[in-house]
Structure formats: structure tokens, C-alpha cells
Structure 1
Amino acid sequence: MSGILEGRIAIVTGAGRGIGREHALELARQGAKVIVNDLGATADGQGASDGPAHEVVALIREMGGEAEANGADVADFEQAEAMVRQAIDSFGGLDILVNNAGFLRDRMLVNTAEEEWDAVIRVHLKGHFAPLRHAGAYWRAEAKAGAQRAARVINTSSGAGLQGSIGQTTYSAAKAGIAGMTLVAAAEMGRYGVTVNAIAPVARTRMTEAAFADMMAPVDDGFDAMDPANNSPVVAWLASEEAGDVTGRVIEIEGGRICVEQGWTHGPSRDLGRRWESAEVGTALRELIAQGAVPEPVYGAG
């Protein structure tokens, strides 16, 4: 197989179903050798099965590509390290890390249990950190040894993390954390030839089927704007050597639309040159808020 990723070696986490599955297939179509990671859990993170990862591996091999399955819990530090080592040992290195694994435990804030918070933060936020930490250490060592790779990381944030989403306090916090991690990792790892970007995908998957129940069918022209595969060409390009000048970006993908997100920036300010008196703050802060941009509404807000 040949394409814009020919000869490159990739890991895709959460690649047994949904968006991750389409990423793994597209990277393989473009010539990458792929470690297909999936724990095989349910949509809310329960249980495990090696079936989904092996099914995707079989599809890649049927296309003439190279792939291996991996069943690591990506939020387990040692298992994440072993996953990175599998790519190096099996295919001779690692060029691409696509962090995608996750699940939902949606609740309104006051109904969220501590266990639900811990589980979602763990799989999304630590599940991005652990593979990135070990892949980053490998790429740093390669660079110091004079064998710098054109490495690429694509993380998975969400509109819920960028604009917020009613009923998804925990998920939104995790996805916002991933966006912040992306910015810092891009700044730290550029010296080793690594770019780090994130996507905010929109798709109909088993995690979102209830929310998108009214958008199940393709539109009249046959284009299904909610197809998970719509996100994967952007990931494939970001994973290519050509994309070496793009880093520290969060890109929203919705059907055929791509949007470069603009996060926190410094807005209107006022400096008194001394400590503020408590009674002074209200008037000044209201004036500054009036001068600034109006925030986008939280998803699901009235």
C-alpha cells in the first residue's frame, strides 16, 4: 500500500470501533504500519475484549497493509510503555501516536459520583498522558542519538472541552485538559522533531448515538456528515511528514468542515500599578467584560 504515510509506523488507541477504527484504517490505506490498540470495553468503560482490535487488524491485512493488535489499558503507565515498545520491536520504530481512547459517564455535576469522575479523567487524560510520555521519551532518545524522527502526535479533544457541554462536566474537564496538554507538549517536544496537535471530532458513534439520534441518516446528496470516517483524512495529513510546520493546534472537524479553534488569549486589561481595592473591582471588571468578545454558549445551554 502507498500514500502520504508510506513506511511510517503508527499507534492508534481506542481503534477497535468508531472514530479510532476509521483512523487506523485510513492510516493503513495511506501506507502506515499500525498498532491497533483497543481494550474492548463497553461505551461506559466496562469489561474488556480483544475482538474489536483483531477485527481491525484483519481488515488492514486484507487491504494489504501491516498491523498488529494491542489490548493495553492506555491509562496504565506500564502497559502504555509496553505498547510503545511493541511498535518499536515489531516494526522498527514509531513515528505517529494517535491518542483516541475514551468512554462516557455523563451526569449533571451534582449527580456525578467520585468513581465516575475518577474513571473518565483516568481514561481520557491519563490515557493521553501515559502513551505520550513514553513515546516522547523514545523520540527524545532518538534525537539525542542523531536519529531524529519526523514524529507526529494527534490527540483527541472535543467541543465539550473547548466550549463546554451541559451534563458532561467530567468529560469536558478531561477534554479541556487534553487541549492544554497538547499546547505544552508541542512547545516542549518541537526540539526533538515532534509535532503535537489535537482534533475535536464530530461523529455518530456508540458514545454519541443518543445525542445524534435525529442525524442518523445521510443527507439527500448521499454525504453522511456524521460518518466517523470524515475525521480520519485530517488525522492522516497531520501524521504525515508534510505537516511538520503545524503544531500546537486544535482542529474541529464536522462533516466536510474543518475549523482551527482559537483558545484562551489575553483580552482587555487594566493595570492600576497598585493593588486593587475590593470595592473597585466590580466596575472595572464589568467594563473589561463589555470590551471583550462574548463567549460561545455551552452546548446544551438554554
Structure 2
Amino acid sequence: MAAEKPVAIVVGASRGIGRQVAIDLAKNGYRVVVAAKTTSDASASDPFPPNPNSPQSTINTVAREITEAGGEALALQVDVRDFENTEDMVRKTVQHYRRLDLLVYNSGAIWWASVEKTPMKRFQLMQRVNPEGLYGCVQACLPHLYENGENGGKGEGRIVVISPPVYSRFLRGKTAYAIGKWGMSALTMGLAMDFNREGRSEMAITSLWPAAAIDSAATQNVDTRRAELRKPTIFSDAILAIIKAPATEVNGRCLLDEDFLREQGVTNFSQYDLVPGGGPPRRIMPAELPSLRVREQDDEGNRVDSTSRRAAKL
């Protein structure tokens, strides 16, 4: 009897990078839940498929692209600012496919400006969509990710988060955005420590960020030279490499797409150039990143567990 195909939820999959990730996961044997806010009548899409970086690309058109190519996909609308809505999306996923193996969190709100020029409403939106939305999706998915595999009930699920390594230059000109994105990376590093402490050796959460800018909905502006962009397939290839790697190799790491693919033996990066022959795109990320480990890394001190304290009071 053939093994049941794994199931992935890709949140923020209606356009750009998220769309490409969903499509390439389906090509590699995943049944994919295509999740985001934007919906449409995919049967009425003209042209089809629509421009992948345009508002005409929705969870419905992406699901149609996958199914017409022979894959399996389910379009589920979700507003990650509403935890009950997020829980409902995960519940519908498990009801439909009876399992969950992978969460890719690509949803994001962007506003790049100084603190003075970032209105409170913009700041709040970014925090709700970026770290809070991720936290809600992780909370809703974890019980189901823990059910997979033969690891003593401790799970073999994977989580991939679109957030950057932590270093000071990233703050420049986008502090409000960086606060939320670093919060997402903090969740990656912290949940990885939980997995290790709880003996969940086959579980892994990993953050991923582009080393060079990628053709996506966020880079469709006149100030961006097309030759400076890469195809989104570099990002989906990096995600595929992450989820195929041993959990211990990627758990808790904040990776860059190009650099991790190099670790896996990829040498031809011209295949990802958006403009053929345009030369390698300029890196937007440092070649070397600081280590955040300290000498006392393994000294937990007197660790406090608030759930135990609360239970004792009850």
C-alpha cells in the first residue's frame, strides 16, 4: 500500500513567493492547503494563470494551477489576525486531509520607514500579521504536527518561517518592521529549544530569508532593477532542501536561501536569475552573520514554568 502523501499549509500563498512555494511543494508530492485572505472565482480568471505578482492571483487561482497540473490543493481563506479563524483553517485542513506535516508561514505586512514616519496603526498591523499571526498558526498546528511519525508521539512535523537572521543593519530605516520580523525569528529559536528540551528530535522549525532580492509582489516598483532580482524558485528550492534535511541540521536556524543551498551542494545560481545573463544579483544580506550564542548558553539557571505555578495555585 502506497504511503499517504504529506500535507502542507502555506499561509500567504496567493501571490509571489508563497504561490511558488505552494506550487513546488505540490510538484514534490505534498497535498497543499493554499491559505491567505484574497479569494476569487478561479473559473472566471482571464487570463489564466494570472500574473503571479498581481491582485488577480488568489488562493483560488493558485489551487487551480496546482490541480490542473495534477496535484492536490485546497484553498482556505484565513485572516491571521483572528486566532479563531486560524484555528478553523487548521481544523478544516485536518478534517479534509486527516493529517498535517508542514506549516510554511509566508504571510506578512510591510512598512519600511523611520520610527517617526511609521504610524501606530501601521506598527500594530505589522505586529498582528507578522509575529502574532505566526504564533497563532504555530499554536493551532502544533498538536497535529506532534501526531505524525513514529517518534513516540513526539512528532516529525516541520515549520518554515519567512523571517531573517538577527543583526543590527537590518534595523536601518525599518525599525518597526524589524521588531516584528525579529519576533518571528525569536519564535524559531525559542520553539527549537522547546523541541530539544522535550526530546522532540524529529521536529524542526527553521527561518528562511532571501540573500538577494526576489521577484515578488513586494518588488514590483520602478525603483527595482529587474536584473537585481531572482526567480522565486530559489526560495522554494531552499524550503524543499530544508524539509528534506535531518531535523537536527536545521532546527532553530535562521538561514539564507542561497547560502543554505550552497551547503547542500548547489553551485549553479544563474538558473535563478530573473534576467538571463544579467549577472549575479546584488546580495541584500551580509556574507557573514554574528553568532547569538553566549558562553553561558546551556546554563538555564532557576528556570520558571508559569503553567506549573498556575496549576499549583489552582
Report the TM-score when normalising by structure 2: 0.70
Measure how far apart 1:159 and its partner are.
6.0
Aligned position for 1:251: 255
- Tell me which of 288, 292, 301 is aligned to 1:264: 292
Measure how far apart 1:82 and its partner are.
1.2
Q: CA–CA distance in 2 between the matches of 1:213 and 1:124?
A: 24
Measure how far apart 1:128 and its partner are.
0.8
Aligned position for 1:20: 18
- Tell me which of 52, 58, 70 is aligned to 2:76: 70
- For the 8 Å contact 1:160–1:175, the answer to whether it is kept is no
- For the 8 Å contact 1:204–1:226, the answer to whether it is kept is yes
Q: CA–CA distance in 2 between the matches of 1:189 and 1:113?
A: 37
Aligned position for 1:177: 183
Q: CA–CA distance in 2 between the matches of 1:77 and 1:50?
A: 26
- For the 8 Å contact 1:160–1:172, the answer to whether it is kept is no
Q: Does 2:53 align with 1:53? A: no
After superposition, where does 1:92-107 map in structure 2 within 5 Å?
A: 92-107=98-113
Aligned position for 2:142: 136
Measure how far apart 1:217 and its partner are.
3.5
Percent of paired sites with the same residue? 25
Measure how far apart 1:212 and its partner are.
6.2
- For the 8 Å contact 1:75–1:128, the answer to whether it is kept is no
State the secondary structure of the residue aligned to 1:198: strand
- Tell me which of 195, 204, 228 is aligned to 2:204: 195
State the secondary structure of the residue aligned to 2:195: helix
- Tell me which of 239, 242, 250 is aligned to 1:238: 242
Q: Does 2:212 align with 1:208? A: no
Distance change (3 Å), C-alpha of 1:141 and 1:124: same
Q: CA–CA distance in 1 between the matches of 2:148 and 2:231?
A: 37
Aligned position for 1:280: none
Report the TM-score when normalising by structure 1: 0.73
Distance change (3 Å), C-alpha of 1:79 and 1:109: same
Q: Which amino acid aligns with 1:36?
A: V
Q: CA–CA distance in 1 between the matches of 2:86 and 2:247?
A: 25
Deviations 1:36-72 (A, max 9, x none): 001129xxxxxxx896001110111012111000110
Q: Which moved more, 1:137-146 or 1:109-118?
A: 137-146
Gaps of 5+ in 2: 40-54, 264-286, 296-314
Gaps of 5+ in 1: 42-48, 219-224, 268-302
Measure how far apart 1:266 and its partner are.
2.9
Q: Does 2:51 align with 1:40? A: no
- For the 8 Å contact 1:237–1:243, the answer to whether it is kept is no
- For the 8 Å contact 1:102–1:124, the answer to whether it is kept is yes
Aligned residues: 249
Indicate the RMSD between aligned Cα atoms, in angstroms: 3.1
Q: Which amino acid aligns with 1:265?
A: R
Q: Which amino acid aligns with 2:215?
A: R
Distance change (3 Å), C-alpha of 1:10 and 1:54: same
